[in-house]
Amino acid sequence: MCRPNGAPEPAGTGGTAGSGAAFTALLEDSAEDLYESAPCGYLSTLMDGTIAKINTTLLDWLGLEREAVVGRKRFTDLLTIGGKLYHETHFAPLLRMQGELRGIALDLKRQGGGRLPVLVSAVVKYGARGEPLLIRVTAFDASDRRSYETELLHRRKEAERARAEADEARRQAEADRARLADALAVLQRSLVPDSLPAVPGLETAVHYHTAAPEQLGGDFYDLFPVAGDRWAFFLGDVCGKGPEAASLTSLTRYTLRAAAHHDPEPAAALATLNAVLHERYTAGGDPRYCTCLFGIIQPGGGHGPTIVRLASGGHPPALALRSDGRAEFLPTPGGLLVGVLPDAPISTVETVLAAGDTIVLYTDGLTEARTGPGRDDLYGEDALRVFATGLAPAAPGEVITALTGLLDSFGDGLNDDTALLALGVPADSSPIRPATSLPS
């Protein structure tokens, strides 16, 4: 029983004698025992990574002795080779910039061989004068999560084979697909932001159309702040469908976010993504790639022009709707698919947005929609430019609403996922406009 304020009711006031005794025993646990026997790993390090404290749970997971760890090892000594590289290139720099990280997937080394997959959260503790003192790290055993991801892939392949089997096997396959569809729907929602942030001096709008709810799509987008008053944004499309595409999409989004915080130059961000995808997939004989537009926008507000720099990795060009009624593509010729070659050429373009100007990024589901009586023709970029010219000038929300109506008009000719992202400078002087998100 609990009191109205949520506090446990003491023994003798309505609860049983046994529950009161159990509650009293719980209060007798020491803080040290709770720390040492926690169901997760705890450790504290100096700012150079030297381990100053570690709990028994993490020592038992790794098969290590406290005397061999405290003051003798650094946090990176517990990581695999790949984990050390990731720590130096991403984990440590982001922790220094942000002061905390949450839910980072790493592998720890077990004594005698073997790996322990964990989800790591870290926070920097500061002194009274703001100086960093130490780093506190929490590690959660992610073995079950890794097994779950493997199981998802396994079930997917089983469902594909089951279509050719007898009626009873087919009914079982349908049940498997229904369970998988629920899991995929949850995972699909996790691959794109729930909403876009409000950006001072800009209006934004977004739309995501899922062509096949039973399959994970590969389109992605994001908008987030970087150094100074600049904002990074990107939109792209990975190869394939299903769990493999989801894994590639997740890696792509996280890599671009981390790269932008390290170096917000658009070409540098795409070069980092290209190196990561090529090393992880193509170099190992499993080529996977994506197309992507990555941009940095610096709102001018009342102090100057709004400047946009865009880099392209094999993606359709962005479309600019000008306040004078023109619609034009921002060409980025020569950019190759990201992840195919170890050193892919990346083209960059810069433009200025005046009051009332809007730029639109889109995936090829829009321009490759099938049209005509026999669904034999592609909609194409020329038709899109003509359509946009009829809209200009238009605010981002108006553009996305019109394009959503265009997608709906394709009917069954729209057979691919489509993502749309629009950013524009308000025609009036309002400093902040909320993002508009239009669900499929």
Domain regions of the chain by residue span: 37-141, 145-187, 194-439
Question: What is the greatest pairwise CA distance in the chain?
Answer: 80
Does the pLDDT of residue 350 top 70, yes or no?
Answer: yes
Confidence of residue 12 (pLDDT cuts 50, 70, 90): very low
> Three-state SS for 350?
strand
* Mean predicted confidence (pLDDT) in 355-376: 93
Cα distance between residue 193 and residue 232, in whole Å:
14
Q: Which of 87 and 169 is assigned the larger pLDDT?
A: 87
Confidence category of residue 127, pLDDT binned at 50, 70, 90: very high
The rounded radius of gyration (Å) of the Cα atoms in the chain is 26
Structure tokens at 323: 């306040």
Superfamily grouping for domain 37-141: PAS domain (3.30.450.20)
Which position has the higher pLDDT, 157 or 113? 113
Q: What percent of the chain has pLDDT over 70?
A: 84
Tell me how far CA of residue 169 lies from CA of 152, 163, 165, in angstroms. 19, 8, 6
pLDDT of residue 388: 97
Helices (H), 213-356: 242-262, 266-280
pLDDT score for 147 = 78
Positions of E strands within 314-346: 318-321, 327-330
Letter for the amino acid at 116? Answer: L
The mean pLDDT of the chain is: 86
> Which residues are CB-neighbours of 334 under 8 A, at least 6 positions away?
345, 347
Q: Where are the alpha helices (DSSP H) in 65-219?
A: 81-86, 92-98, 143-162, 167-189
Q: What is the pLDDT of residue 189?
A: 64
Model pTM greater than 0.85?
no
Confidence of residue 17 (pLDDT cuts 50, 70, 90): low
Whether the predicted pLDDT of 359 surpasses 70: yes
Distance CA(334)–CA(343), nearest Å, equals 13
Report whether pLDDT(13) > 80: no
How far is residue 286's CA from residue 8's CA, in Å, rounded to a whole number? 56
Measure CA of the first residue to CA of the last residue in the chain; give whole Å: 46
CA distance 206 to 439: 8
Q: How confident is the model at residue 153 (pLDDT cuts 50, 70, 90)?
A: confident
Model confidence at 261, pLDDT cuts 50, 70, 90, reads very high
pLDDT at 440 over 50: no
Instruction: Assess whether pLDDT exceeds 70 at residue 198.
Output: yes
How does pLDDT run across 172-184, given as a tens digit for each residue?
767 776 676 666 5
Q: What is the b/e burial string over 106-134, where b = at least 16 CB atoms within 10 angstroms of the residue's CB?
A: bbbbeeeeebbbbbbebbbeeeeeeeeeb
Assigned CATH topology for domain 194-439? Phosphatase 2c; domain 1 (3.60.40)
244 or 223, greater pLDDT: 223
Confidence at residue 145, expressed as pLDDT on a 0 to 100 scale: 77
| Mean pLDDT computed over 244-262 | 91
Rounded CA separation 92/410 (Å): 48
Of 189, 186, 187, 181, which is closest to residue 440 (Cα–Cα)? 189
State yes or no: pLDDT of 407 exceeds 90: yes
User: Which residue, 249, 209, 201, is CA-closest to 225?
Assistant: 201
Lowest mean pLDDT across 32-36, 46-50, 56-60, 387-391:
32-36
In which residue are the tokens 């749309």 written?
Answer: 420
> Letter for the amino acid at 231?
W
